[in-house]
Amino acid sequence: MKAGSSAKRISPTPSAAHSAPAKRRTKTSSQGKKYEAIRRDLERQRKAMLEEAVEGLANPNGQEAFPDISDQASAEVEQNFSMRIREREQRLIKKIDEALERMDQNIYGICERCEEEIPYPRLKARPVTTLCINCKTLEEQEEKVRR
Ligand SMILES: [Zn+2]
């Protein structure tokens, strides 16, 4: 039996191969991705509402009058004719804007009252909401009491 070429040395490397504990933190890091679908919905809705508003004005060719305002509308133009949008629509558009803003600030989907994360299905159904169901219910109850 020749001594020498025996077994390869298996150096026990620190177990990097060990599967790292799969801790998942769904904090605020990738909100853009998480709410991408909702953002698209909001932007689409916003655009549709603005176009509708234009049509609703005393301008039969409303849409032609404002070719593709959505993308690069100056704030001025927007402001001008949002003044003529019915109040209710205006309020909703404002809510949409605020929701989009919250996405930019990575605070979208956080309940304003209890600061819990609002469940995705609720956001999908009511993307402009700023309250979780519980807080919304509470708020409604409070409003009733106040009357
Ligand atoms: Zn809440």
User: Are residue 65 and residue 77 in the same domain, yes or no?
Assistant: yes
Q: Does any domain span residue 52?
A: yes
Q: Nearest CA to 109 among 24, 33, 23?
A: 33
Is 104 found in the same domain as 66? yes
Which band of pLDDT confidence, cut at 50, 70 and 90, is reported for residue 23? very low
What is residue 124's predicted lDDT score, i.e. its pLDDT? 94
Distance 108 CA to ligand 1 centre (A): 13
When divided into structural domains, the chain yields a total of 2
Please state, in angstroms and rounded to a whole number, the distance separating the CA atoms of residues 135 and 117: 12
Q: Tell me whether residue 15 is in a domain.
A: no
Q: Are residues 61 and 76 in the same domain?
A: yes
CA distance 130 to 81: 27
Average pLDDT over residues 104-123: 96
Q: 79, 127, 124: which is closest to 99 by C-alpha?
A: 127
Question: Residue 119, Cβ neighbours under 10 Å: how many?
Answer: 12
Is 25 part of any domain? no
Assess whether 60 and 98 both reside in one domain.
Answer: yes
Distance from the alpha carbon of residue 146 to the mean position of ligand 1, in angstroms = 20
Residues 6+ positions from 90 with CB-CB distance below 8 Å:
82
State whether 104 and 36 are in the same domain.
yes
**Total-model pTM:** 0.57
In a domain, 24, yes or no: no
pLDDT attached to residue 47: 93
CA of 110 to the centre of ligand 1 (A): 8
Q: Which domain range does residue 136 map to? A: 109-147
Q: What is the pLDDT of residues 35-94, one digit of tens each?
A: 999 999 999 999 998 888 777 665 554 444 455 555 555 667 766 665 665 778 888 999
Confidence (pLDDT) at 117: 96
Task: Kindly state whether residues 113 and 91 are assigned to the same domain.
Answer: no
Looking at the structure, tell me whether residues 82 and 141 fall in a common domain: no
Give me ligand 1 centre to Cα 145, in Å: 19
